[in-house]
Structure 1
Amino acid sequence: MRVRSLDGMLVGEAQGGTANVFAGLDAALATIVATTERALGAGGLGAVDLARCHVGLGLAGANVPAVAEALHARPLPFAAFGLETDAVTACRGAFAGGEGGIAILGTGTAYCVRARGAQTLLGGWGMLVSDQGSGADLGRRALAEALMALDGARPLTPFCAAVLDRFDGSAGAIVEFARTALPRDFGTLAPLVWDHAERGDPAAERLVAAALVDIEPMLRRMLELGSPALALLGGQAPRYRPRLSPDLAALVVEPAGDAMEGGIDLAREVYRTAGRSA
């Protein structure tokens, strides 16, 4: 959590626990309030100052109507707050409140465009039906590739051998792992894909190329929606960036700020709106 004064001066920052609304809305809100209070404390303020705060919240799942409804129904100790998904606040931060598009390429994937007076979210539906090119998706594909090599249907390249070594060469162990694995668990295999792709392993290269076939159309869709530039965020982003088609690579810029700055941009909007309605 980051707190700034109206003139932009930093008041304080603080780290908190999870604010995952799907793991419990009341617990998430308690974490937000407690973390805000600690950030205020870093600047010599306290709990009494919560009532003076205009807050911008960027939360995963905020685009689900039932979640937004439930959150707005909870009493919060702030003067006012605005709510957007974490992808939207990340986009606000990346382009300092201006127009642009972000691709979040991490354990999952999601895309957001702010252009032509509208905000558009793309992808981000979870690895079972979406999240192509994410760390989780690369990890799942790595297991599938290794199993085909184990069956003799594909060459046993050094990459495939490295994946199989993680499971003592046992297909059964891979199946047991996959049966209960979360996206972050699949994502632990993504570095193997990248490291071997950069060494020229054909199997790993094939997985990265397939991921780009899914990612690049999403980037082009953001351009169609009016995005003047693209920012790549997330742990996989530095590995994908040098592999983009030249026309897309030419439009990639460094983010101006992070998601917390995007939350502050939203908070400023909340403050201005509150002032007009007063």
Structure 2
Amino acid sequence: MTEPVILVGVDGGGTRCRARARQLDGTLIGECVTGTANLLAGVETALSNIVAAVTGALEAGGLGAADLNRCLVGMGLAGANIPELADRFLASSLPFRRTALEMDGWIACRGAHPGGNGAIAILGTGTAYVANIGGRFITIGGWGFHVGDQASGAWLGHQALRQSLLAFDGIIAATPLSDAILAHFDNKPDAMVAFGKTALPRDYGEFAPLVLDRADAGDPIATAIVDEAVGDIEASLRRLASLGADRISLFGGLAPRYAPRLSPAISAMIVPPASDALEGALQLAATLLPKEAFA
């Protein structure tokens, strides 16, 4: 007799990949966290971390790699909105029974607002905004670090490095933030340049908490960077509202740092999510069930 399928949700961002596995009756099997599953950081890397995360979630419930082919996997991955990357990923050797793929923002929106007519802002290593209006997903941003991701952790860190070099050259006044950034590189700008040649978004994002902490302390460079970031976030949230979203939820590691900085008018639109992105990914996985009616 064929063993029952397993529903698995995967949330793959720029810093980490999370997986949650459930039996068909909703019983939790387990969860696991691994490294980046951002397709922009490499399809092979993403695939490896996803398989490791799903395997780890199964092992947490006493199952294992032998059960991967029982899994119906709903995935929300950063970079999945780029068709060429999504096609390459889906053409890889995925060990699962069936797979449904969409961008990470969509699964987060599914989880946050199961009834639709809501929106989310993902504020983490990268940034993206998604609205679910009448069952139709509308995405703003999510274009990646090199051409987008304003206000992201990577953007904050990158801006901090740029401004610190301006301070080193005497173009702007040095501050505790620029001093701290330069000290991290042993006060050698060439070391910063070498860092930039290979740095990934998550590497720049490591400096984001420092920028926010210094802004809280009134550092002029940090304050200017964060003020610009908040302006970008609020512009995007106003756009979501104009599309018809009557409630907006904030996701991502930087959400708690940005929320208190939002204006009262914007804050009035913010509501807690109904559930997390992994539950949204599990909802996506469940859409694969009709195809398994024969199992």
Q: TM-score range by the shorter chain?
A: 0.7 to 0.9
| Matched ranges for 1:253-268 at <5 A | 253-268=271-286
Structure 1 residue 72, shift from structure 2 partner: 4.7
Which of 105, 113, 117 pairs up with 2:135? 117
Structure 1 residues 177-228: Cα deviation after superposition (integer angstroms, max 9, x where no partner): 3333222222222222111111112221111111122221111111112222
The Cα offsets for residues 119-141 of structure 1, whole Å up to 9 and x where unpaired, read as 11211222222111111111121
Whole-angstrom distance in 1 between the partners of 2:37 and 2:72: 18
Correspondence for 1:130 = 148
Greater CA deviation, 209-218 or 152-161? Answer: 152-161
Percent sequence identity over aligned pairs? 52
2:112 aligned with 1:94, yes or no? yes
The number of residues matched between the two structures is 277
Report deviation, 1:152.
2.8
Whichever residue aligns with residue 270 of structure 2, its letter is V
Match of 2:73 in 1: 55
User: Which of residues 251, 255, 259 in structure 1 aligns to 2:269?
Assistant: 251
Post-superposition Cα deviations, 1:11-38, rounded to whole Å, max 9, x if no partner, equal 3334456545566657755664565455
Distance in 2 (alpha carbons) for counterparts of 1:86 and 1:151: 40
Is this contact kept in 1: 2:41–2:200, CA < 8 A? no
How far residue 110 of structure 1 moved from its aligned partner, in angstroms, is 1.4
Shift in CA distance, 36/245, structure 1 to aligned 2, threshold 3 Å: same
Is the contact made by 2:116 and 2:134 (CA closer than 8 Å) also made in structure 1?
no
Structure 2 equivalent of residue 83 of structure 1:
101
Task: Select the residue among 222, 227, 243 that pairs with 1:225.
Answer: 243
* Match runs of 1:121-160 below 5 Å: 121-160=139-178
Q: Assess if the C-alpha contact under 8 Å between 1:97 and 1:262 holds in 2.
A: no
- Specify which structure has the higher proportion of helix: 1
Extract unaligned runs of 5+ from structure 2: 1-18
The amino acid of 1:216's aligned partner reads E
CA contact (8 A) 2:110 2:280 kept: yes
Instruction: Look at both structures and tell me which one has the larger radius of gyration over its CA atoms.
Output: 1
Residue 200 (str. 1) matches residue 185 (str. 2): no
Q: Contact 1:96 / 1:265 at 8 angstroms: preserved in 2?
A: no
**TM-score (norm: length of structure 2):** 0.79
Return the TM-score normalized by structure 1.
0.83
Q: Distance in 1 between matches of 2:104 and 2:96?
A: 20
Deviation larger for 10-19 or 246-255: 10-19
2:167 maps to amino acid: A
Q: Is structure 2 residue 42 aligned with structure 1 residue 9?
A: no
| Larger proportion of strand | 2
Asked if 2 retains the 8 angstrom alpha-carbon contact of 1:20 and 1:60, the reply is yes
Q: Which residue of 2 aligns with 1:178?
A: 196
One-letter code of the match for 1:9? T
CA offset at residue 51 of structure 1?
5.4
Distance 1:76 1:64 in 2: 19
Instruction: Tell me the residue number matched to 2:291.
Output: 274
Q: CA RMSD in A?
A: 3.0
Q: Is the 8 A contact 2:40 2:144 kept in 1?
A: no
Please tell me the residue identity of whatever aligns with 2:268: A
Deviations 1:223-242 (A, max 9, x none): 11222211222222111111
Deviation track 1:45-72 (CA, whole Å, cap 9, x = no partner) reads: 5667655543312223332333444455
- Separation of aligned partners in 2, 1:114 and 1:277: 32
1:214 to 232, 235, 255: 232
Partner Cα separation in structure 2 for residue 225 and residue 179 of structure 1: 39
CA contact (8 A) 1:115 1:226 kept: yes
